[in-house]
Amino acid sequence: MLGGYTGKILDVNLDSGELKDVSLDEEMAKMYLGGKGLGLKIVYDSFRADMQPFDPDNLLVFATGPATGQKIPTSGRYHIVCSKSPQTGTVGSGNSGGKWGPFLKFAGYDVVIVRGISKEPVYLSIVDGKAELVPAPELWGMTVHAVTDELTERSGNPKKTSVACIGPAGENLVPFSGIMNDKYRTAGRTGLGAVMGSKKLKAVVVSGSRKIEPANRELLEDRAIESMKRIRENPVTGPKGGLHTYGTAVLVNIINESGAYPTRNFQEAYFPDADEQSGETLVKKYLTGRGGCWGCPIVCGRKSDVPDGPFSVRDTEGPEYETLFAFGSDCGITELDALIKANHLCDELGLDTISMGGTIACAMELVEKGKIPPEKLHGMNLRFGDPSSMIEAIWRTAYKAGIGADLALGSRDLAKKYGAPEFSMAVKGMELPAYDPRPIQGIGLNYATANRGGDHVYGYMISPEVLGLPLKLDPYAVEDKPKWTIILQDLTSAINSSVVCLFTSFALGLPEYAGMLAAVTGFDLDADKLLKLGERVTNLERLMNNMYGLDRNEDILPKRLTEEPVPDGPAKGQISHVPEMINEYYALRGWIDGKPTEGKLKELGIA
């Protein structure tokens, strides 16, 4: 048995109802570790170029990694992959924290593969190595919190049980619905919730008490202690650092003052009222506590409470920085209580907050510019700065009610439908996150080239370009950005295959990750080999996208960002220079026109 793995994969066929155990292939684990890498490899081995998002053969793969559930800082995470995303047309991919990942391993499995479509709604129960499909028509329609409470209670062992599920948005096949676990944690991007909804799979419940032995326990403990020390001493990740004190919302003021806080659908990049929705203000007005994922010393999660007023919501969690931008500045909305409410609603309905906010912002601009006629809105006052209409737009989207059916298309198809595709601030159909790329060149290159579409955590260039970690790069400069973007993208692929939290990368580097993973697995791993593994994962994902027909034509930013300078604020006059950087990026990658060459694939052991 390999260290750090259960050695078992659960293969669930919803067409036939058959469940079978499959042994984990050791060579595959060495090549792809787990999490994202292993999930992609499983999808690749059943790849079909004509796959459709709601095809029964579209695999949904829940994958832990060798670090998951070990005594390694932030090892509470797992990754979900699907063969084809309904949002982007690429391979689908999302990552989540909480406790579901470790609990799957404690229940006896490294990976769950879901294929086929059930005739009726079901949930999958995995308890102490015993898996079963349970008919669940009574659960269909429930919100995330309701179904989580119901299934946790049914388990009879609430402290050792975790539920991953979809909400109404996933059931209604909204292409940017997520898979939620532990109520507030989300594998949010690329519409994995809709794929799960198409399979009539409402939830996956995991519970167990199995311990997974690492290859070298003593060595692992030494290396984990050293990594823990680095995390605790780091000003961002330490116990009194920015992430713990203010949450990810600590970025609101920093990014705004950098002139990169996208405002009113990226028409501007500075929001004068940003401080009213900042991490500092959240702490002062609504914070009731802090919480973290399983095994996490950083504890960046927020517990918040809005006791009264029109946007009252009690004892909720969040919001994160990305959510504050998406429903806040991007929609021209200042009120923090409304943003907390919007976040809560998305968690209940199972929606990706970035894409939901980005789509509403796009709709607001379409209304502002007269592209969506008033009669389409049935009385909704969908305009920048109106928090009530933003809230209403969320639930309408989840249920595809009225204009919600159009919003549920996502910004790309919504803007196309109303004759103004240029208003969609998305890459490959996925809405952009909370950093305007015009004054931060590397993050723009990362957005353009990220395999799953507009994605900040594919290669988090904000770390060197704004936070100065691990070194300071001038955000306006283009020099060296292709090289650094590639390094961070491949590092992230390795982290997501481990699986640990990306936030550890503020404090840890490749040697620390490789050291811990080598101790867990017994594999021959060092910093270079781990980065090469990350490169393999990035290239495999790219190869599948190429086989779906994507190439350099999809590696582009919205024209607004490359042609319209930032109109005001600290970054006035800046534009993104992605077109000037992309060829160097491809050359360094060993790609031609966005496609890995045969030589590159051979070098990585893919071909």
Partner 1 sequence: MIMLVKFLESVQGITEQLEISVKVGKGDTVYTVLLALAYHYGHDFYAVTIGDKSETPKVRIMLNGKDIGHLKGFETNVKGGDILVLSSQEPLINLHD
Question: Which residue's entry shows tokens 């914070």?
Answer: 287
CA dihedral for 258, 259, 260, 262, sign (positive or negative):
positive
The Cα–Cα gap between 142 and 180 comes to: 13
Q: Which of 221, 280, 480, 568 binds partner 1 (CB under 8 A)?
A: 280
Question: Which residue's entry shows tokens 């690429």?
Answer: 90
Least distance to partner 1, CB of residue 449, Å: 24
**Binding to partner 1 by residue 283, rule CB under 8 A?**
yes
The b/e string for 282-303 (b: 16+ C-beta within 10 A; e otherwise) is bbeebbeebebbbbbbbbbbbe
> Between β-strands 201-207 and 122-127, what pairing exists: parallel, antiparallel or unpaired?
parallel
Using DSSP's 3-state secondary structure scheme, residue 122 falls into: strand
Q: Which of 141, 565, 570, 590 binds partner 1 (CB under 8 A)?
A: 570
Question: Which among 37, 33, 55, 54 is positioned nearest to 45, based on CA atoms?
Answer: 37
Which tokens sit at 384? 């920048």
Question: Which residue's entry shows tokens 């989580």?
Answer: 148
Q: Which of 259, 410, 429, 515 binds partner 1 (CB under 8 A)?
A: 259
Measured from the Cβ of residue 23, the count of other Cβ atoms closer than 10 Å reads 8
Q: Which of 519, 525, 571, 575 binds partner 1 (CB under 8 A)?
A: 571
Closer residue to partner 1 (CB): 275 or 564: 275
Backbone angles phi, psi at 62, to 5 degrees: -95, 120
The window from 134-142, 159-167, 203-211, 271-279 that contacts partner 1 (CB under 8 A) reads 271-279
Closer residue to partner 1 (CB): 242 or 534: 242
Closer residue to partner 1 (CB): 116 or 319: 319
Cα separation of the two ends of the chain: 28
Question: Which among 173, 195, 122 is positioned nearest to 398, based on CA atoms?
Answer: 173
Closer residue to partner 1 (CB): 1 or 477: 477
Closer residue to partner 1 (CB): 318 or 439: 439
The window from 90-98, 159-167, 294-302, 467-475 that contacts partner 1 (CB under 8 A) reads 467-475
The Cα–Cα gap between 289 and 247 comes to: 11
The window from 70-78, 379-387, 452-460, 568-576 that contacts partner 1 (CB under 8 A) reads 568-576
Least distance to partner 1, CB of residue 438, Å: 11
Q: Are 72 and 518 in contact (CB under 8 A)?
A: no
**Binding to partner 1 by residue 275, rule CB under 8 A?**
yes
Show the site string, 475-514: x = touches partner 1 by CB under 8 A, - = not.
Answer: xx--------------------------------------
Please enumerate in sequence order all residues whose Cβ is within 8 A of that of 156, keeping only pairs 6 or more positions apart, or say none: none
Using DSSP's 3-state secondary structure scheme, residue 472 falls into: coil
Q: Which of 472, 483, 559, 602 binds partner 1 (CB under 8 A)?
A: 472
**Binding to partner 1 by residue 565, rule CB under 8 A?**
no
Q: Which of 422, 474, 528, 598 binds partner 1 (CB under 8 A)?
A: 474
The window from 13-21, 116-124, 275-283, 305-313 that contacts partner 1 (CB under 8 A) reads 275-283
Long-range contacts for 459-463 (Cβ within 8 Å, ≥24 apart)? 459/485, 459/486, 459/487, 459/488, 459/489, 459/491, 459/492, 460/488, 460/492, 460/502, 460/505, 461/485, 461/488, 462/251, 462/255, 462/435, 463/488, 463/505, 463/506
Show the site string, 434-453: x = touches partner 1 by CB under 8 A, - = not.
Answer: -----x--------------
Q: Under rule CB under 8 A, which residues in 40-99 are in contact with partner 1?
A: none
Least distance to partner 1, CB of residue 113, Å: 40
Least distance to partner 1, CB of residue 571, Å: 5
Least distance to partner 1, CB of residue 56, Å: 48
The window from 39-47, 199-207, 320-328, 569-577 that contacts partner 1 (CB under 8 A) reads 569-577
Using DSSP's 3-state secondary structure scheme, residue 493 falls into: helix
Closer residue to partner 1 (CB): 51 or 473: 473
**Binding to partner 1 by residue 276, rule CB under 8 A?**
no
Closer residue to partner 1 (CB): 354 or 507: 507
The Cα–Cα gap between 452 and 156 comes to: 38
Backbone angles phi, psi at 187, to 5 degrees: -85, 85
Least distance to partner 1, CB of residue 140, Å: 44
Least distance to partner 1, CB of residue 230, Å: 15
Q: Are 592 and 551 in contact (CB under 8 A)?
A: no
Closer residue to partner 1 (CB): 65 or 259: 259
Q: Which of 258, 343, 355, 497 binds partner 1 (CB under 8 A)?
A: 258
Backbone angles phi, psi at 120, to 5 degrees: -135, 160
Closer residue to partner 1 (CB): 416 or 472: 472
Distances (CA, A) of 139 to 145, 171, 196, 332: 12, 11, 14, 37
**Count of positions on this chain that bind partner 1 (CB under 8 A):** 30
The window from 60-68, 258-266, 404-412, 547-555 that contacts partner 1 (CB under 8 A) reads 258-266
Q: Are 210 and 106 in contact (CB under 8 A)?
A: yes
The Cα–Cα gap between 63 and 528 comes to: 24
Closer residue to partner 1 (CB): 152 or 281: 281
Show the site string, 388-427: x = touches partner 1 by CB under 8 A, - = not.
Answer: ----------------------------------------
Closer residue to partner 1 (CB): 233 or 580: 233
Show the site string, 227-256: x = touches partner 1 by CB under 8 A, - = not.
Answer: --------xx-x-xxxx-xx---x--xx--
The Cα–Cα gap between 565 and 561 comes to: 7
Q: What is the contact surface with partner 1 in residues (CB under 8 A)?
A: 235-236, 238, 240-243, 245-246, 250, 253-254, 257-260, 275, 278-280, 283, 439, 468, 472, 474-476, 569-571
